[in-house]
Amino acid sequence: MRYQEIAAALRKRVRRAAAGSLLPSEAALSAEFGASRVTVRRALDVVRGEGLIAARQGFGWYVATEPVRQSLHALDTIEAQLAGSGRRNERRVVEFAFATAPDHVRELLATDSVLRVKRVNLADGEPFAVVTVWCPAELGSGLSRDDVERRPFYELLGIRLRGATQTIGADAANQDDAALLQVPAGAPLLTCQRVTTDVGGRPVLVSEHRFPAHRTEFVVDLPSAEPSVMPTGLRLVE
């Protein structure tokens, strides 16, 4: 039957594709195979039933992959967690500049002059995060582009850190982030703002992380939380 022929072609395609990569839209597949959307959808459902592909609202169909997970229970980097699970990780710096702090960073770091670094994080060669980091210019004055591409800021600042506050939310991918993450513009993103403090409680790093929602998830350990039907820490945005 026609849908089985299309399913066989899709099966061969996705087995050659990178995990997490997007498939053409149903409309594009319909045109490619000269079949109705109903037939294409039935073929996609067959391949999904085999665990080879998945779908998310806002993304469409993509090659099934194990999501990148970050456990939020300690001051740690996602790279360290990936390495601990045996996954290859790398970072690619796309911007490195000393600049004037944007308003929200100026308020948090209490300084006008900052080092701003923007990078793409990859797991097994596939992008899973766009990260922008700001630190006071005096703390970043001895750092180079190569430094921040090879090692996390936590190891480079030369000061003792106390902890961090993370705020998790959601957004839609703009054109720049979509290109870096290899997702459609407007695709849903998980977002995380982290403010890291030194042992005296002074904020020394602000970082903003943007993750494609189909490839990532946060896991929060709640060993002593009270029973609740709502996630701990949830608040309504004004």
The more confidently predicted of residues 72 and 125 is 125
pLDDT of 135 strictly over 70: yes
pTM of the model: 0.72
> Which of the four pLDDT bands, split at 50, 70 and 90, describes residue 198?
very high
The more confidently predicted of residues 57 and 30 is 30
Closest Cα to residue 214, out of 70, 87, 91, 64?
64
> pLDDT value at position 185?
84
d(CA 88, CA 102): 33
The more confidently predicted of residues 84 and 120 is 120
> pLDDT value at position 222?
65
pLDDT of 23 strictly over 60: yes
SS3 content of the chain, % helix, strand, coil (to 5): 30, 35, 35
Chain centroid offset of residue 186 CA: 15
Helix (H, G, I), strand (E, B) or coil at 141: coil
> pLDDT value at position 136?
96
Amino acid at 51: G
Q: Which helix (H) or strand (E) holds 96?
A: strand 89-100
Between 32-41, 60-69, 201-210, the lowest mean confidence (pLDDT) is in 60-69
d(CA 176, CA 147): 24
> pLDDT value at position 229?
61
CB 222 within 8 A of CB 205: no
Average of per-residue pLDDT across 7-33 = 86
> How confident is the model over 103-112, as pLDDT tens digits?
999 999 999 9
Tell me the domains of the chain and their CATH numbers: 2-63 (1.10.10.10), 68-219 (3.40.1410.10)
d(CA 159, CA 138): 12
